[in-house]
Amino acid sequence: MKKIIIADDEHKILMSLEYSFRKSGYEVFIARDGSEVMDLLKTEIPAAVLLDIMMPNLDGYETLQQIRAEEQLKDCKIVIVSAKNNPADIQKAYDLGADAYVTKPYSIKKLLQQVDELIT
């Protein structure tokens, strides 16, 4: 089963993404901030991580940097899912190693499709 970590501090977004990805055959782990993502990565090696940028404690950019610094996570795909749609924010995510950038609001169907394409 494909594993995914979804990180967002908005409960409704987490729940809808968790439901949709589970329904599509993923094993889903959820995190409310980057610190929780890093804790999960100590025991789970997911195929992908969906990261919001604006989260408490450890934001998406810092989390992305930490994930990319871990050798055992080099194959993990990282998709930024954020309301930030400024070209500079998007470029920063790619510069830090993001594989894709999706702006909110988004189509869950298209997001699922994008993640499937990234990890296959």
* Dist. CA 110–CA 42, nearest whole Å: 29
Question: What is the amino acid identity at position 19?
Answer: Y
pLDDT above 90 for 73: yes
pLDDT score recorded for residue 64: 97
Domain range list for the chain: 2-119
In this prediction the pTM is 0.95
* Dist. CA 107–CA 95, nearest whole Å: 25
Q: How confident is the model at residue 55 (pLDDT cuts 50, 70, 90)?
A: very high
Tokens of 5: 């970590």
pLDDT above 90 for 120: no
Cβ contact 92:61 at 8 Å: yes
pLDDT above 90 for 19: yes
* Dist. CA 35–CA 32, nearest whole Å: 8
Average pLDDT, the chain: 96
The greatest distance separating any two alpha carbons of the chain, rounded to the nearest whole angstrom, comes to 35
DSSP tag of 100:
E
Percent of all residues in the chain with a pLDDT value above 90, rounded to a whole number = 98
CATH topology of domain 2-119: Rossmann fold (3.40.50)
pLDDT digits (tens, 9 = 90+) for 79-89: 999 999 999 99
pLDDT score recorded for residue 1: 86
pLDDT above 90 for 18: yes
